[in-house]
Amino acid sequence: MKTILFLLFLMSPATWAACNNIACYGVGKEVLTRTYLASSGNIYIGAPEGKENLKCDLFEGQYMTLKMNHLLYREIYSTILTGIAAQKSLQIRIVENSPECEVSYVTMTP
């Protein structure tokens, strides 16, 4: 029984982050390896394990891009920061086949 509980703990979203072909997901800071603001105004979001599964071209081979001209730029960035601080489940959806793995939207769940 202890082994089963331990395995469930290892498989819980709180302990891992990953990407499929259209999104990266995980809990809080686990979903992001690194985030930085560029002088262009774009925000570069480090993708976790499985980033090679994404159907887009990662910026510098490791970053998804939230473009400054995105209509929900501030809201998406705020959601990401809130998810990290509150350790909530995040999903970052990308635009398929986009250069620089452009962020489409973000969801946050308890």
What amino acid occupies position 6?
F
Structure confidence at residue 30 (pLDDT): 78
Which amino acid belongs to residue 25?
Answer: Y
Question: Is residue 2's pLDDT more than 90?
Answer: no
Helices (H), the chain: 2-11, 73-86
Sign of the dihedral defined by the CA atoms of residues 47, 49, 55, 57, in that order: positive
Per-residue pLDDT of 3-26, as tens digits, reads: 433 333 444 444 468 999 999 998
For 43-92, what is each residue's pLDDT tens digit? 999 998 889 999 999 999 999 999 999 999 999 999 999 998 899 999 99
* DSSP reduced 3-state for 70: coil
The rounded distance, in Å, linking the Cα atoms of 57 and 68 is 18
The pTM for the full model equals 0.81
Cβ–Cβ under 8 Å, residues 19 and 32:
no
